[in-house]
Amino acid sequence: MTVKNPPCALAATQLSLSDLGTHLSDCVFVIVDLETTGGAGIDAGITEIGAVKVHGGEVIGEFTTLVNPGSPIPPFIATLTGITDSMVSGSPGVQTAVSMFLDFAGECVFVAHNAPYDIGFLKGACSKFDIVWPNNKVIDTVRIARLALHRDEVRNCKLATLSSFFRTEVQPTHRAFDDARATTDVMHHLFERLGNYGVHTLEDLHAFTSRVSEVQRNKKNLADGLPATPGVYIFEDPQGRPLYIGTSKNIRNRVRTYFTAAENRRRMSEMIKIAQQVRPIVCSTILEAKIRELRLIVSEQPRYNRRSRAADSVSWLKLTSEPAPRLIVTKQLKDDYAEGARYIGPFTSRAAANSALDTINETISLRTCTTKIAAQPRTDIPGCVRAELGKCVAPCTRNHDREQYLSIVNHASIAMSGNTSTVVTHITELMETLALQERFEEAANWREALGHYVNAVFRTERLRWIATTPELVAAQNTIDGGWEIHVIRYGRLAAAGVVEPGFDPWPHVAALVASAEFVEPGIEPAPAGVTEEAFDLLRWLESDGVRLVASSRDLSMPLNCGGKETIQLSAVRRVVGERLAAVSGNEPTGRPVGSRTPGVTRIAYF
């Protein structure tokens, strides 16, 4: 056990919790780290305590001791920390070690990395052994790091990550004293960052990290002067970087809610503490605001937005254009439609794309191997078991029936091009067979897989017609009798405007079209912008009251593109969900259990 303490004269600099306006450089901090047996803090299974006392950036005291937890140390904990039962057999017990640490700490401010864990064990020991807990101020360096560091800088806020990022002199080793020293260096580096946020005193730091933020109420002036119009609002940090991007039909009123009791989301409270200003972007319509919000989130990646950050990261199922085509899952579209490639999607998860792939392969005997096959194969031996089982015509062999495989590829191309009938018929018969054999779970799995496939085809065809339309103009009547007009080009919003009540809309339509953004087409079936924007536009076009003003081409969708099956499968899931709810005693919610209801909406304006 080692204890180093400063002379008694330093006690005059120690902080009382009642002091106000104490600069961080005047505070005395005790940075503490524990090694434990795991479990809850009330168990007080402490095996080592390490602490560093600092003042004004200088180390003025150190404390380290092994602790006999009074119970065996689990093998995996011993492996992680290197602390064994034999090492702690002659060490102080938990009661003695914790009492010694508290004597060392005095009235200083406690600092720990993931403080709830370490402080929880210390409090657990105090509760277990009737030791008075001193109620010292506690600072959590994890919480400070989450607020002071941008996600682009560190991938997470683990001690090892921060220690590496700040290049601390001591690296964490899962030993209490080394970790306490590493946390000390990390704390000092974080304090340097806090100056950018106007945090200079202990009280500033408390407000900066507190879940119940006084700063949140004090920053309501950020809403002053904002327009009471539709648009986008951007909370920015002191360096002008976007923290959070939102949209509203009334920017000023919406931003004001962030500084009231109505806003109780933890992440938003954290964001408000950092925000320095709010930048508005006035838009003509709510739809324009929504699209601008999406584009900004994708381009700026604000740290406090969760939705739409990965809007441009989706998966597609592709029928390749190689000599022996096959199905693959890809994130990149290529302009190879003329060479025979086909795409369906987008899928928000790779698992859903693979499920649709399995559905097609079960129906149509495409090759599933990943081998690159030449136009004129030279081998006579099939490269997979599927060929031996008769499930593949082995296009990898020299004497395979090329015309037969091209016919199979043609069926797959049709199944990928808006005609789901072959796959739906085959999988439906397979489900019926499995059900007769009482293999209900397998049948249900194929039903879900079929759902992924037909939803994808239907989604692709909806996306295709808007993505391949050079120009589409639509309008929606406003409450006061005016018109909101939008120009859409290749699935991207090119212009938006409002015609006031009583005015002839046609001159405004002509002017809006003339001034609309020039848009290059995307790679079919994807739109010019991100796919989420195109689907937002589709939902608006399908909403009540929207009128199609003009289109540069006829709008249509294939007859058997999966819309009917999508609705039917959605109904099946809903019935299953209601039955499960009835069995469990819960009221049905209107949404199927364990699934997402596809966005099937009215397309009557076609």
- Two structure tokens written together for 79: 């492996």
Q: Final residue of a domain: which of 208, 232, 259?
A: 208
- Residues 189 and 225 occupy one common structural domain: no
Give the burial string for 154-192 (b: 16+ CB within 10 Å, else e). beebebebbbebbebebebebbbbbbbbbbbbbbbbbbe
In a domain, 594, yes or no: no
How far is the CA of 212 from the CAs of 54, 209, 215, 263, 582, in angstroms?
Answer: 28, 9, 9, 11, 41
Do 450 and 484 sit in the same domain of this protein? no
State what percent of residues in the chain have pLDDT above 90.
52
Q: Is residue 528 part of a domain?
A: yes
User: Which CATH number does the domain housing residue 293 bear?
Assistant: 3.40.1440.10
598 to 138, 431, 464: CA distances (angstroms): 48, 21, 17
Instruction: Give the phi and the psi of residue 193 in degrees, each rounded to 5.
Output: -70, -35
Q: Are residues 9 and 69 in the same domain?
A: yes
Do 190 and 45 share a domain, yes or no? yes
**Burial class of residue 309, CB neighbours in 10 A (0-12, 13-18, 19+):** middle
Per the document, the length of the chain is: 606
- Structural contact between residues 469 and 490, judged by C-beta atoms closer than 8 angstroms: yes
At 316 the three-state DSSP class reads: strand
CA neighbor of 45 nearest in space, from 111, 118, 112: 118
β-bridge mates for residue 498, sequence order: 484
What are the tens digits of pLDDT across the range 80-112? 888 998 998 889 999 999 999 999 999 999 999
Q: Are 129 and 63 found together in one domain?
A: yes
Domain count, the chain: 4
In a domain, 459, yes or no: no
Alpha helical stretches, state H, 230-364: 251-256, 266-274, 286-300, 350-363
pLDDT tens per residue across span 59-86: 999 999 999 988 888 888 888 888 998 9
- Strand, coil or helix: 233: strand
Q: Is residue 320 part of a domain?
A: yes
DSSP sequence for 365-403: --B-------SS--BSS-SSHHHHTTS---TTBTTS-HH
> Which residues lie below 8 Å from residue 94, measured CB to CB, with a gap of 6+?
44, 45, 46, 67, 68, 69, 70, 125, 128, 129
pLDDT along the chain (606 residues), means of 10: 48 36 88 85 78 93 92 87 89 92 93 92 90 90 88 88 92 92 94 84 76 66 91 94 94 86 75 92 96 94 85 87 92 90 91 94 89 77 71 79 88 91 91 91 91 91 92 93 95 95 93 95 91 93 91 77 61 46 42 32 25
Q: What pLDDT is attached to residue 210? A: 63
Is 241 within the bounds of a domain? yes
> In this predicted structure, what is the pLDDT of residue 40?
57
Residue in 433, 422, 427 with CA at minimum distance from that of residue 446 = 427
230 plus 374 within the same structural domain:
no
Cβ atoms within 10 Å, residue 65: 22
Q: Torsions phi, psi of 442, nearest 5?
A: -65, -40
Residue 586 lies in a domain: no
pLDDT at 557: 67
Torsion over CA: 103, 176, 47, 135 (sign)? positive
Residue 22 has a CB neighbour count (10 Å cut-off) of 18
pTM here is 0.60
Domain span at residue 528 reads: 468-551
Same domain, 52 and 154: yes
C-alpha 427: how far from chain center = 34
